[in-house]
Amino acid sequence: MSEITSLADMTRCYGIILGTKRFDACLAFYRDTLGLPVWYEKPGLVCLRFGDGYLMIETGGHANRDTPLQRKPNTENPTMLRFNVQDVEATAAWLEKRGVRVAVKTYDWGTVGTFIDPDGNACELKDADDPFFA
């Protein structure tokens, strides 16, 4: 084995673990509504493919306390899941047809579409053709 110079040298797969209160609703959202394929399942968690990594949905989190089905404030969850897609507007329209409300905004640096999961966690679409990703 060569010398380790960073954690990236040892990492085989990157992942995100999302603790949820509304486990069944969040699993259905990410698996069925968004279409992320199941990698494996264990009691209390399901691991979904998320690009080259994974998104693990687990029990034990909390939902938005103040207003159900609205975005959690950053003090409760400052993290946002980003989906870099080919076409933000087309993907937002596809999600809208599946019952997901998406707020599309265009800035001088690009277009994004923001939506939330059943626990109030923020997700965002971003144009994958942005020169930044090249």
**Confidence tier at 131 by pLDDT (50, 70, 90):** low
1 falls within a domain? no
34-82 pLDDT, tens digit each:
999 999 999 999 999 999 999 999 998 777 665 556 777 666 776 889 9
107-127 pLDDT, tens digit each:
888 899 999 999 999 999 998
2 falls within a domain? no
Q: Which domain holds residue 16?
A: 7-133
Comparing CA positions, the residue from 100, 80, 82, 101 lying closest to residue 34 is 100
Eight-class DSSP state of 60: S
Residue 62 pLDDT: 74
Q: Tell me the three state secondary structure of residue 116.
A: strand
Residue 40 pLDDT: 96
Residue 66 pLDDT: 56
Comparing CA positions, the residue from 132, 133, 129, 85 lying closest to residue 114 is 85
Residue 124 pLDDT: 96
126 falls within a domain? yes
Number of domains observed in the structure of the chain: 1
18 falls within a domain? yes
Q: What is the CATH number of the domain that holds 100?
A: 3.10.180.10
**Confidence tier at 101 by pLDDT (50, 70, 90):** very high
Burial of 36 (0-12, 13-18, 19+ CB in 10 A): buried
Which pair of tokens denotes residue 4?
A: 């380790």
Comparing CA positions, the residue from 116, 117, 114, 96 lying closest to residue 105 is 114
56 falls within a domain? yes
How many CB atoms within 10 Å of residue 38?
13
Give the C-alpha distances (Å, rounded to integers) separating 41 from 2, 14, 107: 34, 18, 39
Rounded Cα gap, residues 36 and 34, in angstroms: 6
